[in-house]
């Protein structure tokens, strides 16, 4: 299973981003292998439609779950229509690694 986490930086130690569409990076993490890669979000500087453009990037990466602080309505609709599960976290997590651990422990909330 592969998940994608919105991030302020390109490392597992980076602060997770509470904004999906304007997150500077996404961390693609393979739960079975423990491998990961950082993807720069080209939608960050979009004047409008950043959430939808970011959603398309995620959809193209064979992900099952997307983790972020919050999702805008258009991004939420695009990701849900593609069959992805949306998971939210709050600002208490100081690293992407902590968000991954919370996900593994079922401590995060799945959006309906």
Decide if pLDDT at 57 tops 80.
yes
pLDDT of 104: 96
pLDDT of 79: 94
pLDDT of 47: 74
- Containing 58, the helix (H) or strand (E) segment is helix 50-59
* Domains of the chain with CATH codes: 2-25+35-110 (3.30.420.130)
CA torsion through residues 61, 71, 20, 34, sign: negative
Q: pLDDT tens, 58-93?
A: 898 989 999 999 999 999 999 999 999 999 999 999
pLDDT of 105: 96
């Amino acid at each position: 299973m592969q998940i994608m986490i919105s991030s302020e930086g390109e490392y597992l130690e980076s602060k997770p981003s509470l904004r999906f569409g304007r997150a500077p990076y996404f961390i693609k993490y393979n739960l079975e292998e423990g491998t990961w890669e950082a993807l720069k979000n080209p939608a960050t500087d979009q004047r409008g439609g950043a959430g939808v453009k970011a959603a398309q990037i995620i959809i193209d990466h064979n992900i099952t779950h997307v983790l972020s602080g919050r999702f805008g309505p258009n991004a939420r609709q695009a990701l849900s229509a593609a069959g992805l599960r949306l998971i939210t976290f709050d600002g208490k997590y100081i690293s992407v690694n902590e968000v991954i651990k919370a996900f593994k422990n079922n401590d995060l909330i799945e959006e309906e």
